[in-house]
A and B are shown apart, each in its own frame.
Chain A
Amino acid sequence: MFYREAGDFKTSYCDDGQTFPIKLDRMGYYVILGVAAMVVPFVINDYWASAVLLPFLIYAIASIGLNILTGYAGQVSLGTGGFMAVGAYAVYKLMTAFPEVSVLIHILLAGGITAMVGIAFGLPSLRIKGFYLAVATLAAQFFLVWLFNKVPWFYNYSASGQITAPERTVLGWAVTGPAASPAAKYLVCLLFVVFAAWVARNLTRGMVGRKWMAIRDMDIAAEIIGVNPLTAKLSAFGISSFFVGIAGALLFAVYLGAAEVTEAFGINKSFLVLFMVIIGGLGSIFGSFAGAAFLVLLPVLLKNLLVGALGWPTDLAAHIELMIVGALIIFFLIVEPHGLARLWQLVKEKLRLWPFPH
């Protein structure tokens, strides 16, 4: 009824190959972008920013990063938390060492540094794969967290061992530190999310992405048709870590403001992002957003329902949340391995024919 593509003609390959080939989708995308950039910053308040929107945007970037590696290139990584920590500590060192440079550049540079670390830890992927590799990436997770804990240079010899983001401004607005307004924080994260989604979308539908998918589907066949596994795997590790690093930098500098590495970037972060990718949909940019939204909203909803409405103790609600997340992972793996993204696609296909399904 509402979702129609009839009369939406394309006269060139260029039109046909765009990200949103259907006009209605395209309009929806512009509307969402417009609302996110021009309406939300004026109505945002502290609760919405810190409980929902900021974590959603930041984890969406991390999910896009992991989705490139796991969903597109087929290399399962459990080291996401460690790479996020690299991003956070890199941006901290850059912010304190070069205070006059814009924080936006620092965040990008932190992503670059994380990319290099990611490539270094991706090197074993040339020899080992599958869950041998998944377990090997745990080495990155534990080693990096230990490193940031034990080497005082990384946290500037502060007494508490914590890193605290100093105040930095963009165009005169504080975006980090205690004085930052929710709207400013939100806009910075939004900027990076749009950038990440745009880059990832265009990489994954181009030659690089096709090489990744060839490696994922069958690496030996891919090599025979001329994909170089070395460059394909390492570029996947590098680009994935770049986004994960940006997410880590934003998580620390913009969202948390202060972080302690074992608490903020432990192994649970790795699993959280992996779950977002699985629930959202492996190999889908939209899925990264859907998974991030789902796993950010679920605890908030459960907390409001169980603790707020029913008056249950908080720890009980947390344990029930664990059960629900675990059950959902299994449920999605059994019923819909392509996650929420596939469900959304199915809804659209149904809507196309509705109300006359023949």
Chain B
Amino acid sequence: MMEQFFYASEVFINGLMTGVMYALVALGFVLIYKASGVFNYAQGVLALFAALTLVGIMEGQVPFRHIINAIFGTHLENFGWTVGPVLAILLTAGVMVLLAILIEKLVLQHLVGQEPIILFMATIGLAYFLEGLGDVMWGADIKTLDVGLPQGISESIETATYNLFGYGFFIDRLDIWATIIAALLVAALVAFSQYTKQGRAMRAVADDHQAALSVGISLQFIWIMVWSIAGFVALVAGIMWGTKSGVQFSLSLIALKALPVLMLGGFTSIPGAIVGGLIIGVGEKLFEFWVGPLVGGATENWFAYVLALIFLVFRPQGLFGERIIERV
């Protein structure tokens, strides 16, 4: 009995950690949605793209080498140097800023004032484009990413809990680090939006585009800034997930996991993204633990969605969502 309770609490704690990872992706969505009303489906692909770029820069790969090789018949592989993690992360952040500028100039600027659903579909197109671009730039093979984050089961926690309860908890050290980094990131984002001029401008734009424009805030700049921040959040998420499970196409699918998190937490709320992420993370792990064996397992694929769907029927704006959807 006790054994089972401890096992359930271990599942619970691991669920919390997974939830943090979901929240990390969901955070990028919320930022963009709040500041521009764009529901950015491409956030997951952004994370994949960031992780691919990071690996590419660290290993000194020649970008577009496959297509160059195909056209000119050359055999380019690597530049022959490697870049340290810190510098590589900075360079990748630079690439994400560049990407944000391009997205604003080429896509968003032309779609101002369109219906939200059109913008949503445009970001689906963007997701496809970026996925193809990432693969063409860096190759589609599965890559390992190691920026020096600790990995594996934490022995100290295992022994400590074993001495305390007589049951050793298995907790991944990477998950602990992810939790710490996510907490720092959220704190930084909140501080940025509360205490800096740009942050205030961002909140003004989120509140009312036109009023913000009329007091001299540049919409264009704010959008680029928000997409850059979202790109940076995607980079952090990409590092975490990439270290955990390798940089590959399935990374972009975590975005699909972040969607029910958002529906549950509300599209406009940063705390909502975090609480929603934790609920989904814990919920799907516990559901898989209790109900999974009865129905053949792999319930993680749909549990989050069905939970969010049922929840939405009763509270259409989510837990912390501010705007109540008009009902018919």
Contact with B along A132-145 (1 / 0, CB 8 A): 10111011001101
On whether the beta carbons of B128 and A322 are closer than 8 Å, the reply is: yes
Q: Which residues of B contact A145 (CB under 8 A)?
A: 301
Q: Which B residues between 94 and 147 are near A, CB-CB below 8 angstroms?
A: 106-107, 110-111, 114, 116-118, 120-122, 124-133, 135-136, 140
Interface of chain B, helix or strand or loop or mixed?
A: helix
Size of A's binding interface in residues, CB under 8 A: 51
Among the listed stretches A89-97, A250-258, A312-320, which one makes contact with chain B, having 4 or more residues with CB under 8 Å of it?
A312-320
Is A333's CB under 8 angstroms from B125's CB?
A: yes
Q: Is the CB of B302 within 8 A of A136?
A: no
Among A179-187, A193-201, A323-331, the stretch in contact with B: A323-331
Q: Taking the nearest CB of chain B, how far is it from the CB of A304, in angstroms?
A: 16
A310 CB-CB contact with B under 8 Å:
yes
Q: Which residue of B lies closest to A277 (CB)?
A: B121
Known pairs A136-B308, A313-B66; A150 contacts B325 (CB<8 A): no
Interface hits, A241-291 → B, CB 8 Å: 267, 271, 274-275, 278
Cross-interface CB contact of B129 among A267, A316, A330, cutoff 8 Å: A330
Q: A146-B299, A146-B302, A267-B256 are in contact. Are A76 and B132 (CB under 8 A)?
A: no
Q: Are A146 and B301 in contact (CB under 8 A)?
A: yes
Taking a contact as CB atoms under 8 Å apart, the answer to whether A150 and B298 are in contact is yes
State whether B124 touches A310 (Cβ < 8 A). no
| A48 in contact (CB, < 8 A) | no
Whole-angstrom distance between the Cβ of B307 and the nearest chain A Cβ: 9
- Asked if B260 is at the interface (CB within 8 A of a chain A CB), the reply is yes
B67 interface residue (CB < 8 Å to A): yes
> Are A132 and B70 touching (Cβ within 8 A)?
no
Task: Find chain A residues with CB under 8 A from B327 CB.
Answer: 127
B117 touches A319 (CB 8 A): no
Question: Among the listed B126, B128, B131, B298, which residue makes an inter-chain contact with A146, where contact means beta carbons less than 8 Å apart?
Answer: B298
**Given A142-B302, A143-B306, A334–B132 Cβ distance below 8 Å?**
no
Q: Using a CB-CB cutoff of 8 Å, which residues 250-294 of chain B contact chain A?
A: 256, 259-260, 262-263
* Beta-carbon nearest neighbor of A233 in chain B: B328
Partner of B260, one of A135, A229, A311, A330: A135
Give the contacting residue for B312; candidates A124, A134, A324, A333; CB below 8 A.
A124
Give the contacting residue for A330; candidates B122, B298, B308; CB below 8 A: B122
Distance (whole angstroms) from the CB of A168 to the closest CB of chain B: 30
CB distance from A163 to the nearest CB of B (A): 17
B120 and A134 within 8 A (CB): yes
B309 part of interface (Cβ distance < 8 Å):
yes
Contact A124 B309 (CB under 8 A): yes
In the complex the two chains form, is B326's CB within 8 Å of A220's CB? yes
Give the B-binding residues of A (Cβ under 8 A).
76, 124, 126-132, 134-136, 138-139, 142-143, 145-146, 149-151, 219-220, 223, 229, 267, 271, 274-275, 278, 310-313, 315-316, 319-330, 333-334, 337
Q: Report 18 cross-chain contacts, Cβ distance below 8 Å, ordered by A residue.
A: A76-B120, A126-B328, A127-B316, A128-B312, A129-B325, A135-B259, A136-B305, A138-B256, A138-B305, A143-B306, A146-B301, A223-B328, A316-B70, A316-B136, A319-B131, A322-B129, A325-B132, A329-B128
Closest 4 CB pairs of A and B: A329-B125, A326-B129, A322-B132, A326-B128
